[in-house]
């Protein structure tokens, strides 16, 4: 789409052309006019969809330059690196020497930052924790804020900074709220729903142009780490179907702990390169293939070379690999063998799933959770304690009606049907 569709001011249009932007992205076409119009929105889109450029243009189109000492725009970002990127984007696009923008750095002097704020700024960019700390010292005036933006909201949730976000938002009064995230999930809504109850949600799914040929993929969205264990135990209960299984985790410590949590007979579960010498394990995947009674091999992604997974019909990604390339190595189809690759993901792992889907060029089908799965419900104290624990997920959310299914396979039913068809 032509950049003209965004209806930018002449100055910003020229600036964007000078920077090499000659066309508008789908996400920008759907959201920018709403931001300029002062609407509160929740924008959901993957990396590369143009989310940052969208709100930078929206702010610059709305901003009225005055000598007011109090800031008009507050942007919350997850870390200092992101703060620097946002400030640089504003300066690059605006080319306006009268624009006063300031990034509050956690490593900087709070006294100096307060002094600079008192001199007057238009836009403040900060982490939620830093902004809250300076606000409590009466150094950040929120009385004149017009636009409140949450950048990388999913990463802010992942780092457990929901409380300062809510406190800052509620201290601003009636303003325009904008929250951008790569995924929409319950934890995001727990953070923003109190102050954005009527916000419009706009979602854009941009996948890679070339689809990668993979084995059959399935995704289970689960609320937390413990429920992942319950689900794996439930599926593996059917030992006739799941006779040879590889389970990938991210660390050797997790591999060791998971092996102790599986309900299996002695000798059925092994760890590749176990953490402790007296743990049940093997040093080579081929050794696992040749031991009939051993049907589950747990492999840590860390320090693991390319593996020969031929002859293994089931692959589980118990945790999302830290590198999408690792995931692709496990699931790309190189032979005619029928393999089912099943992935478990909590809310805060969904952004990584989105990145994987972009690399695959296709969505991973989501399966409903089995009716007989025990959903672990931590107490309120445990929820607070684990709020920043990346692996433990969060509150389980009900699927949107548009995404719900009218059927529900029990544990292993999908695999059973697949394997029965294979044996015919």
pLDDT in tens, 273-294: 988 777 778 999 999 999 999 9
In this prediction, residue 171 carries a pLDDT of: 94
In this prediction, residue 156 carries a pLDDT of: 96
Half-sphere exposure in the Cβ direction for 74 (13 Å, CA): 30
Residue 205: name the closest of 190, 184, 174, 219 by CA.
Answer: 184
- Of the chain, the end-to-end C-alpha distance in Å amounts to 50
Domain covering 3-203, topology: Rossmann fold (3.40.50)
In this prediction, residue 64 carries a pLDDT of: 78
**Tens of pLDDT along 171-193?**
998 899 999 999 999 899 999 99
* Residue, of 180 and 412, whose pLDDT is higher: 180
The answer to whether the CB of 124 falls within 8 A of the CB of 117 is yes
Rounded to the nearest 10 degrees, how much is the dihedral formed by the CA atoms of 383, 389, 393, 395?
Answer: 20
In CATH, what is the architecture of 216-423? Answer: 3-Layer(aba) Sandwich (3.40)
Q: Where in the chain is the domain with CATH 3.40.50.300?
A: 3-203, 216-423
* Residue, of 382 and 230, whose pLDDT is higher: 230
- Which tokens is 403 given? 């995404």
33-37, 206-210, 255-259, 420-424 — which is least confidently predicted? 420-424
Q: Work out the pLDDT band at 418, boundaries 50, 70, 90.
A: low
Q: Computed over its alpha carbons, how large is the radius of gyration of the chain?
A: 25
Question: In this model, does residue 257 exceed pLDDT 90?
Answer: yes
The answer to whether the CB of 122 falls within 8 A of the CB of 72 is yes
Q: Work out the pLDDT band at 22, boundaries 50, 70, 90.
A: confident
For the chain, the average pLDDT equals 87
């Amino acid at each position: 789409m032509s950049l003209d569709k965004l209806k930018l001011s002449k100055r910003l249009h020229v600036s964007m052309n000078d920077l090499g932007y000659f066309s508008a992205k789908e996400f920008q076409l759907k959201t920018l006019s709403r931001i300029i119009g002062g609407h509160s929105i929740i924008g959901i889109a993957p990396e590369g969809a143009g989310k940052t450029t969208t709100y930078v243009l929206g702010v610059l189109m709305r901003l009225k330059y005055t000598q007011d000492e109090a800031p008009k725009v507050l942007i919350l970002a997850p870390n200092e690196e992101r703060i620097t990127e946002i400030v640089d984007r504003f300066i690059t696009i605006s080319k306006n020497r009268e624009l006063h923008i300031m990034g509050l750095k956690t490593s900087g002097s709070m006294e100096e930052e307060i002094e600079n704020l008192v001199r007057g700024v238009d836009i403040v960019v900060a982490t939620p924790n830093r902004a809250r700390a300076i606000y409590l010292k009466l150094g950040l005036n929120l009385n004149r804020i017009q636009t409140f933006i949450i950048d990388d909201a999913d990463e802010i949730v992942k780092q457990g900074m929901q409380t300062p976000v809510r406190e800052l938002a509620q201290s601003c009064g009636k303003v325009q709220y904008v929250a951008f995230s790569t995924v929409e999930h319950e934890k995001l809504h727990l953070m923003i729903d109190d102050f954005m109850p009527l916000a419009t949600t706009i979602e854009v799914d941009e996948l890679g142009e070339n689809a990668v040929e993979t084995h059959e993929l399935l995704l289970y969205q689960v609320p937390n780490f413990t429920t992942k264990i319950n689900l794996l135990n439930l599926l593996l209960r059917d030992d006739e179907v799941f006779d040879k299984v590889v389970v990938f985790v991210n660390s050797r410590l997790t591999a060791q702990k998971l092996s102790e949590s599986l309900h299996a007979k002695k000798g059925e579960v092994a760890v590749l390169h176990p953490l402790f010498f007296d743990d049940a394990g093997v040093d080579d995947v081929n050794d696992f293939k040749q031991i009939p009674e051993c049907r589950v091999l747990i492999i840590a992604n860390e320090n693991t070379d390319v593996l020969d997974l031929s002859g293994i019909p089931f692959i589980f990604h118990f945790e999302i690999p830290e590198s999408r390339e690792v995931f692709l190595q496990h699931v790309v189809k190189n032979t005619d063998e029928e393999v089912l690759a099943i992935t478990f993901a909590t809310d805060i792992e969904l952004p990584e799933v989105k990145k994987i889907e972009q690399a695959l060029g296709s969505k991973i089908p989501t399966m409903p959770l089995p009716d007989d799965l025990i959903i672990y419900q931590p107490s309120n104290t445990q929820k607070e304690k684990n709020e920043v624990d990346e692996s433990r997920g969060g509150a389980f959310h009900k699927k949107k009606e548009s995404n719900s299914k009218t059927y529900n396979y029990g544990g292993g039913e999908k695999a059973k049907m697949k394997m029965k068809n294979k044996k015919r």
